[in-house]
Amino acid sequence: MAIFRFRAAAALEARRRQEDDAAAEFTRKDGLKHEADARCEQIEIERRDAGAALIASQEQGQDSAMQGWHRNWITGLSAAAHVAAVNAAEAAQAVEVSRRVWQEARKKRLVLERLRDRAWRRFRHEETLREQRVIDELARVRFTTRALAEGSSK
């Protein structure tokens, strides 16, 4: 029985490694995106709390210096929220780029796997044909041997 060898096995293995690397990069960037989104939410909560603290300080009649401090705090949080939103948008874009790279690597791997599967099916078909030829030859030899034996005994 012959041994099946896929000629592009090394290329298939390289494609698997590329896909694994791309998937790992996608996962890493997706994690960074989630962190950036969480940071945006955290800053937004802090900004709402700061607004509530400003309103509370105004209701309590605190001096203008303290109210100015609250306004500056809110302004700083607004700037931080803007930076965090930009970072989150960049992270989302990086995730999309890495997703496309991963999908492309996956497609390339699947193409080689389909080629390997076709080659395997062709190999098995050829192997079956070879086996059938051997069986047919064995049957022919038995038939002719039996026919010769019966012919010589008459």
Report residue 32 CA to chain centroid gap. 16
What is the radius of gyration, based on Cα positions, of the chain? 37
Averaged pLDDT, 89-100: 97
CATH 1.10.287.1700 applies to domain 9-153: yes
pLDDT at 47: 93
Helices and strands of the chain, counted as H and E runs: 2, 0
Q: How far apart are CA 74 and CA 69, in angstroms?
A: 9
Averaged pLDDT, 120-135: 95
In the chain, where are the structural domains located? 9-153
More confident position, 69 or 32: 32
Confidence band of 154 (pLDDT split at 50, 70, 90): low
Whole-prediction pTM: 0.74
